[in-house]
Amino acid sequence: MQFTRRFLLQGAALSTIAPQLVWAQSSLTADGARLDTLSDGNLVLPKSFSLGDVAGPEADEILARYGLTGDSFEPDCNVTLLRSGDRTILFDVGAGPDFMPTAGKLMDAFDMLGVDPFDVTDVVFTHAHPDHIWGLLDDFGDLNFPDANYHIGQKEYDYWTDPNTVSTIGEARQTFAVGAANRLGILADRINLFGDGAEIAPGVAARATHGHTPGHMAFEVRLGSESAMIVGDSILNNHLAFERPTWRAGSDQDQDMAVATRVSLLDQLATEQMRMIGYHLPGGGMGRVERRADSYVFVGEDA
């Protein structure tokens, strides 16, 4: 199925399930620092695009246990905000006004939380898919966070700014490539590039979690004795990604690499009992991973 903007807009308009938006969804406070997850709304995605080749009776049975029986998914979008010392750091910027009408609500979340976008000192991208980077600009084409320093992984930046990407990424994702190239082009003279293990800010370390996109990054945030892993889309959902982590997902660009990344990350999070924040996980996305036999389960903070 071609994954076009027209399809996205039509799918969102036809959706009969409109989740209630809770702007400041989950919080973690320690040693004077605070992590919040803010709602950017939700996506409406065709199940065929999300599942890829794994659709079948076993997948349907798992999804039914999570109340997912229709032809589309409507995952939440959780943007993370860290306030620590003199730094206000935003991880991803949401979808903005041009992706689909159910998303792009981040500026409303800022208003509800009482944070001024001009106070954001740093914007850090996990990757450059539309629901993570298209919120860079407002309706007039100006930066939503004009005083921020911007950061993205070197490999991710190189991929989306390569002029060959739009012709090799496949028709379903060509709009992704054009949108990413345009926005990263706007930031070309003010964006900082980094690699695996880099310290983006005090207590914020980058971790390579490639696969969903070629240069996808996660970030471990330490707040004194507390810590949390912002995993972006390296763990895409709270159902199949946990119960069948070795299954390939249609929304991952390099599906085999994404599987290896997901399995490694789930094992680490379950073993260390480190908090995680998933961009598309429910209830604000903050919780922990528990191992169940040969699979895993996501336990949200409110569970």
Nearest to 246 by CA among 265, 232, 233: 265
Could you report the per-residue pLDDT of 40-58, keeping only the tens digit for each? 999 998 887 777 667 688 9
Model pLDDT, residue 294: 86
Do 122 and 206 meet the contact criterion of CB atoms below 8 Å apart? Answer: no
The predicted model gives 276-294 an average pLDDT of: 95
Nearest to 214 by CA among 177, 269, 245: 177
Q: Which domain holds residue 49?
A: 5-15+23-300
Please give the structure tokens belonging to residue 278: 């998933």
Nearest to 121 by CA among 79, 81, 181: 81
Asked if residue 104 has pLDDT above 70, the reply is yes
Model pLDDT, residue 20: 44
Asked if residue 266 has pLDDT above 60, the reply is yes
Tell me how many domains the chain contains.
1
**Alpha-carbon gap, residue 209 to 211, rounded angstroms:** 7
Model pLDDT, residue 24: 55
Could you report the per-residue pLDDT of 184-213, keeping only the tens digit for each? 999 999 999 999 999 999 999 999 999 999
Side-chain-side CA neighbours of 295 within 13 Å: the count stands at: 13
CATH of the domain at 107: 3.60.15.10
Query: If 0-12 CB within 10 Å is exposed, 13-18 middle and 19+ buried, where does residue 146 land?
Result: exposed
**Alpha-carbon gap, residue 244 to 4, rounded angstroms:** 28
pTM: 0.91
pLDDT level of residue 163 (50, 70, 90 thresholds) = very high
pLDDT level of residue 153 (50, 70, 90 thresholds) = very high
User: Which residues touch 168 (CB under 8 Å, ≥6 apart)?
Assistant: none
Q: From residue 176, how far is each of 145, 192, 225 by CA, in Å?
A: 21, 21, 38
Do 132 and 164 meet the contact criterion of CB atoms below 8 Å apart? Answer: no
Q: Where do we find the tokens 């379903």?
A: 172
H or E stretch at 77: strand 76-84
Q: Where do we find the tokens 């709304």?
A: 41
**Alpha-carbon gap, residue 280 to 188, rounded angstroms:** 28
